[in-house]
Amino acid sequence: MAKNTELALRMGVAAKQITGLEPKALVAILQELVELPFTPLKFSQLRLADLSQALGDSADPAQVQAAHKILVEGLDPQIVETLSAQDAKIPREPNAVRVACASSTPGQTDGHFGGCKAFEIYDVSPGAVTLVESRSTLHLIAEKITDDPAYKSDPRVALINDCDLVFVVSIGGPAAAKVVRAGMHPMKFAEGGSSEALLADLQQTLTNNPPPWLAKVMAGSVTQQQA
């Protein structure tokens, strides 16, 4: 498993140990304590006293200790496997094209591929537009594993690799190439807009006369449902 994914799981599970602590709040605390980029080595050197002080007196000491242990030592491989399985991609609607909308505002396609806060996932068919889920990228922004443009878009591509189209306001050349190699088609909308409106236009295309490659995707989704 890639280290960025494992660290994200650590932070998510660690946050759940402490009553009332949101994962994004823990990310902010860790950013102050160990600085970006997050690495397994930095986490292994995190002091319990520093974490306790950052969380404040209201945090239960036993819960803080449990969270610290997870951050420093990592997760049991079986737990990681279970969590990864739970995070498996959701089956798509029949006869549908799956679209990832780069979003920093719920319901809007208003994000750059490499900087959006989430990808909102929709299944679009001639008969329906269905919001599947919103996949946050905040842990990817926080971890910032590398500044190398040859690699830093990889986690985002992996996050949406069950999609067919990617709606963005903008996307860099290297990232676009990775998206295409993963079997997806990036589509740029420079002014952004309501995801609902953009997807309605796509739905109209699917209903009237979809291009051959989109028709093939739609047929493939039916085959997946029958498998």
When mean pLDDT is compared across 35-44, 142-151, 205-214, the lowest value belongs to 142-151
27: its two tokens: 């990310």
Residue 221: pLDDT band (50, 70, 90) is low
Residue 106 sits in the same domain as residue 54: no
Question: Do residues 142 and 195 lie in contact, with contact meaning Cβ atoms separated by under 8 Å?
Answer: no
Domain boundary residue, one of 61, 86, 111: 86
Q: What's the mean pLDDT in 165-174?
A: 95
Residue 138 sits in the same domain as residue 179: yes
Residue 138 sits in the same domain as residue 210: yes
Residue 146 sits in the same domain as residue 219: yes
Residue 61 sits in the same domain as residue 119: no
Residue 41 sits in the same domain as residue 134: no
What's residue 173's pLDDT?
92
**Residue of 166, 93, 96 whose CA lies nearest to 135:** 166
Number of domains observed in the structure of the chain:
2
Residue 103 sits in the same domain as residue 144: yes
Residue 128 sits in the same domain as residue 199: yes
Residue 121 sits in the same domain as residue 171: yes
Question: Do residues 96 and 184 lie in contact, with contact meaning Cβ atoms separated by under 8 Å?
Answer: no
- Please report, for the domain that includes residue 61, its CATH number: 1.10.150
Taking each helix axis from N to C end, the angle separating 23-34 and 3-16, rounded to the nearest 10 degrees, works out to 120
Domain boundary residue, one of 44, 65, 86: 86
Domain boundary residue, one of 24, 59, 86: 86
Q: What's the mean pLDDT in 143-161?
A: 68
Model confidence at 187: pLDDT above 60: yes
* Whole-angstrom distance, CA of residue 121 vs CA of residue 152: 21
- Please report, for the domain that includes residue 161, its CATH number: 3.30.420.130
| Model pLDDT for residues 9-31, shown as the tens digit of each residue | 788 888 888 998 988 889 999 99
* Whole-angstrom distance, CA of residue 133 vs CA of residue 24: 19
What's residue 224's pLDDT?
46
- Beta strand 193-194 with 108-109 is antiparallel
Residue 91 lies in a domain: no
Model confidence at 86: pLDDT above 70: no
Residue 200: pLDDT band (50, 70, 90) is very high
Q: Which domain holds residue 9?
A: 3-86
